A and B are shown apart, each in its own frame.
Chain A
Amino acid sequence: MTMAAVTWQRLRPVGRLLAVLVPILLALGLVSVGAIILAGPLAAGFVGDNVPLVRFVAAVTAVILLSIPTAFIVIFLELKVIARMNLRIGPERVGPYGGAMSVVHGLKVLAKEDFTPLGVDVTVFTMAPIVTFVGAIMTMLVIPFAPGLFGLDLNIGLLYLFAMSGLTVVGLLMAGWSSFNKYSLLGGLRSAAQMVSYEIPLTLSLVGIVLLAGTMSLNQLVLGQSGSFLDWNIWKQPLAFLIFFIAGTAEANRTPFDLTEADSELVGGFATEYSGMRFGFFFFAEYVNVFIVSALLVTFFLGGWTAPIAWPFAVTMPSLDPLGLGVGLLLGIAALPVVGTLILAAPFWLSSKITTLQALVIGFILFNVVAVGLVIGYAFVSFDWVVGLFWFFAKAYAFVFLFIWMRATLPRVRIDQLMGFAWKWLLPAALLNIFVTAAAITIVSK
């Protein structure tokens, strides 16, 4: 037995892991340092020359990354809120308060067999969930999350939005057609009929807002609503808000318009033949869609990231220059976690039932809570975009809650009621809204 083999045998699992990982990391570090030295200036020049391209790539990456936690949070909320409304507790075993339940769901779907039935058009069959998913999340590119925090400020943002959400229909039709199953095809057509019908009032309801604001850029629309909550579009266009809300519910395939995959009635509609992660992508897209519809409602009608009431007094934080404080003060700041932990641990240490180690752990956790709270508070008063993000997500998730609440309450409509409602009620109402808005603008401007 060689020396190396003996050494390897004596190592514990952690040691073996480190023995493998450390050389790999060292090698990767050396390679990347060399790459930066050799190609760094070139890459920096390329980035400097192509800022829009880099921004686009970064924004798409950010949007795809954002869609993952969003879907997990929406699924978790759905499990938990509907459970509470059914007088159940809901998931509470996996993770704190059941929080990891949706993640485990995702892992389960990943681990399932990705089955391709005989006779399907494999290319289209595989592309369909991707098209649906991309069509859903690419709409997030133009949504302004906070001041300055948006993927692209397209001046035809609204058109882009509806073009992208129209892709979802294509994905559903592709899924239904390529499945080589007449019931899947019927399910796909049924979904397409619903989505296309509701896209018309959805689009028309926003014409009034475009007329009022004179722009189709979502960022400009939000800026036009800044001020207090009285400046929001919901007061100027209440009918449009109602139409957009109902049509958006149908577009996101939510109860009471969830005929696309009516769980209790259909085998599975267009998704009958799908399994594994290809099926998972459809539902990923569906749950991201719930958030997107909520975000659009907030952006168009509830002032986007603007606060409902302007912060009444200005707060200016003292700017700290860490280098100007001197070494002693810096050391003091460095000692702050230790001192804070000890101070917060002291009251627990005095209690007779808690050992010293437990008291230290409690103190450390408490110190972290306090410190994170202070940092978030500092960021909240110092940076506009933190405030914007807070209000945007607060409003958007309020609507997500509303959608889930509706799912826990309302029964599903029939397909003829669904189509009749879109064409006989929503479409005339949207047209009436456009007419009244245009007439009011003409009268006022004269």
Chain B
Amino acid sequence: MSTVPGSGIVRGMALTFRRFFEPKATVRYPEVRPEIAPRNRGRLQLLHDENGHLKCETCFQCAQACPIECIDMGGVDTRGRYNVHWGPAETYGERREEAALRRSGRPVPDAAFASFAEVDLGPVSAVLVAHDHDPAHMLGILEETQAAYGYLPVAALRHISFATGAWYAMVYGTASYYRQFRLAPPADGDPALAAADRRPSEASFLSALDAALGMGPRPAPGNARTGDAAGPRA
């Protein structure tokens, strides 16, 4: 194809000419807003008040409340996580000590940290041993952990992260992505998720299958807990 001299030029010119008529990639920003993923929280930024002072009071609550510990404060490199800098380290060193104390397990009287409560790590350790501490089995580990506790306690997730070597952010990301996982204990009378509700596309697929086979409505799976992914399908 490239044996004819000049054929490359002709093909290149044809390509740019086609591009001339194709839809453009530019987003006219102020009028057109790009679609942002629902989980995107944007860039971490400290705000100033009308007098130009920082609104941040160095309370470290954001770093404490961040479920996947992606917020950290100060100028110290923290394993590639996002840092929020606003000044030299000595200006907030005291608060930093305090936050480190909290993270080390000091009980914090705040509802936001209830899920950080200690749990018995025996069941999750057994699950991890059964899976040989392999982070590639994360889905199975999480499902069996939830079967053991009824939900996924934060302490168990941290232990999984510690034992398998996977980043806590990845463990939490996996746990919060799939719908069969819950991060808080189920309320009384809260029905377990039906198998068809676990993944959104599965429901439509199953109903289409039922319609094609002429079957009636599917019986609700009785008391199935959400850890039976390996079990037989209804």
Given contacts A84-B24, A85-B19, 19 further A-B contacts (CB under 8 A): A81-B20, A84-B19, A84-B20, A85-B17, A86-B19, A87-B19, A87-B22, A87-B25, A87-B26, A88-B24, A88-B25, A89-B24, A89-B26, A89-B28, A405-B13, A405-B16, A405-B17, A409-B15, A409-B16
Among B13-67, those with CB < 8 Å from A are 13, 15-17, 19-20, 22-26, 28
Q: Interface size (A, Cβ < 8 Å)?
A: 12
A408 is an interface residue with CB less than 8 A from chain B:
yes
Contacts of A239 in B (CB 8 A): none
Number of cross-chain contacts by CB at 8 Å: 33
B173 is an interface residue with CB less than 8 A from chain A:
no
Q: Interface size (B, Cβ < 8 Å)?
A: 14
The proximity string for B residues 90-122 relative to A, scoring 1 for CB distances below 8 Å and 0 otherwise, is 000000000000000000000000000000000
The proximity string for A residues 65-94 relative to B, scoring 1 for CB distances below 8 Å and 0 otherwise, is 000000000000000010011111100000
A410 is an interface residue with CB less than 8 A from chain B:
yes
Known A-B contacts A406-B13, A410-B12; the reply to A85 vs B26 at CB < 8 A is no
B136 is an interface residue with CB less than 8 A from chain A:
no
Smallest Cβ-Cβ distance to A81: which chain B residue: B20
Name A's B-contacting residues (CB within 8 A): 81, 84-89, 405-406, 408-410
Smallest Cβ-Cβ distance to A402: which chain B residue: B13
- A88 to B19 Cα, complex, angstroms: 10
- A156 to B12 Cα, complex, angstroms: 40
B215 is an interface residue with CB less than 8 A from chain A:
no
Contacts of B12 in A (CB 8 A): 409-410
Instruction: For residue A350, give the distance in angstroms from its CB to the closest CB of chain B.
Output: 31
- A406 to B13 Cα, complex, angstroms: 7
B9 is an interface residue with CB less than 8 A from chain A:
yes
Smallest Cβ-Cβ distance to B8: which chain A residue: A410
- A39 to B22 Cα, complex, angstroms: 63
Smallest Cβ-Cβ distance to B26: which chain A residue: A89
- A88 to B24 Cα, complex, angstroms: 5
Select A409's contact among B13, B22, B24, beta carbons within 8 Å.
Answer: B13
Instruction: For residue B29, give the distance in angstroms from its CB to the closest CB of chain A.
Output: 11
Smallest Cβ-Cβ distance to A411: which chain B residue: B12
- A408 to B20 Cα, complex, angstroms: 10
